[in-house]
Amino acid sequence: DDQSGMKRRRVHAPDPRGDVTTRALDDIHSMLEEHARQIEKLVAANKVLEGRNTALEERCMALDRKSESLERSCDELEVRCSSLERSLQVLRKDVSWTYSAPSIPYNHWIEQGHDEEFADNMEERIGLIKDDARRIRRKGEDYYCRSLDNENQLAILHDDALLPHFKELSDAIQLSTGIRQIVIDNIELRPSALRIMFLRWR
């Protein structure tokens, strides 16, 4: 009987290893919770850093755009300064202005391989350029410049002899503040002519 009682007591006695296992599981659970909290903090900190990085990228892009805008403004100012400088040069010469572009002999066009119809048209065209230059300087406002309108005529090809005449017309246009319209048609303008005509008008 005593032995059976001891057996019963042993069967119902608490296992000391059960407490150890429970404590170990609790410790592991606490550790996992702590790790989870740390991960959440790291995720939150990473989001903050990502937000700051995005803000910095946007600021850099804004600075790039501002830099490009400033560069364009500088280019525009340089063009305006150049235009003003040219205007001053023209005004200095304008005190006793005369049309100074040299005449182009009629035979020049024939020697270039053109026919008489072309040569006649060029004589008339140069005369129109002279008239426009004079009238623009006198009138200046509400003027329609049509001396370069070569519509329905033989195409005028590039010729360096025309450059001084383009310059006279361009100088007159440079001084004017009220030209209504400038018509250019059927005339070949190479870079040398474009620099004289258009860069001076800006």
Place of tokens 């702590």: 34
Q: How many residues does the chain have?
A: 202
Q: Considering only 25-39, 74-88, 174-188, which range has the smallest mean pLDDT?
A: 74-88
Check pLDDT > 60 for residue 150: yes
Q: Please report the DSSP string for 31-96 in residue order.
A: HHHHHHHHHHHHHHHHHHHHHHHHHHHHHHHHHHHHHHHHHHHHHHHHHHHHHHHHHHHHHHHGGG
Q: What is the pLDDT of residues 39-93, one digit of tens each?
A: 888 888 888 888 888 888 888 888 888 888 888 888 888 777 766 666 666 555 5
Cα–Cα distance measured from residue 143 to residue 185, given in angstroms and rounded to the nearest whole number: 18
Residue 32: the pLDDT is 83
Those residues with Cβ within 8 angstroms of residue 140's Cβ, 6 or more apart along the chain or in another chain? 175, 176, 177, 178, 179
At 191 the pLDDT is: 93
- In this predicted structure, the answer to whether residue 145 has a pLDDT above a threshold of 80 is yes
201: exposed, middle or buried (C-beta count within 10 Å: 0-12, 13-18, 19+)? middle
Most confident of the following: 6-20, 137-151, 153-167, 171-185: 153-167
How much is the pLDDT for 53? 85
Q: What 8-state DSSP symbol labels residue 185? A: E
The answer, yes or no, to whether residue 2 has pLDDT greater than 80, is no
pTM of the model: 0.54
Distance of CA 44 to the CA centre of its chain: 41
Beta bridge partners of 141: 178
- Of the pLDDT bands very low, low, confident and very high (cuts 50, 70, 90), residue 155 is very high
Could you tell me whether strands 178-185 and 141-149 are parallel, antiparallel, or unpaired per DSSP bridges? parallel
